[in-house]
A = this chain, B = another copy of it.
Amino acid sequence: MIIQLDMQSDVPIYTQLMNQIIEGIARGDLKLGEALPSVRGLASDIGVNLHTVNKAYNLLKQEGFIQIHRQKGVVIQPDAMPLVTPEYELKQHNQLRPIIAEAICRGMTKEQLLQVTEQIHKEIMHNEKGNA
């Protein structure tokens, strides 16, 4: 999977890394159980420090998206993805709320908002690899 970083973004590199790996899983580019590059390998590939990659990996592990085996390496969680917990629902709510509030201020209708959501959902799901 190709990682694209924006070094000018105000989003931290380790967050961008997390987001791209999560989207990679969502779109099926990264299969359950699939191996990820080593911290040193990925850091070298994308030109950042190994600790930056390590931080992203450890946060992903903490949230249950990947497994880290001390002398084997890093793999996408092989069994099943983390589920929709009450804590996650709360986090998601707090993330969405200010975005939706601003959309309302700017005059977007509920229908337009739902359409944008549906559009992004489609963008993520519609990969070319035939995710069947």
Contacts and interface: CB of A to CB of B under 8 A. Distances in A.
A7 interface: no
Nearest to A80: B107
A26 B92 contact: no
A78 to B, nearest CB: 14
A44 interface: no
- Could you tell me the dominant secondary structure of chain A's interface residues? helix
Interface in A75-132: 81-84, 88, 92-93, 95-108, 110, 113-114, 116-118, 120-121, 123-125
Interface of A: 19, 22-23, 25-27, 65, 81-84, 88, 92-93, 95-108, 110, 113-114, 116-118, 120-121, 123-125
19 contacts: A19-B97, A19-B101, A23-B98, A25-B105, A26-B102, A27-B101, A65-B105, A82-B105, A84-B106, A84-B107, A92-B99, A93-B116, A96-B116, A97-B123, A97-B124, A113-B121, A114-B114, A114-B118, A117-B117
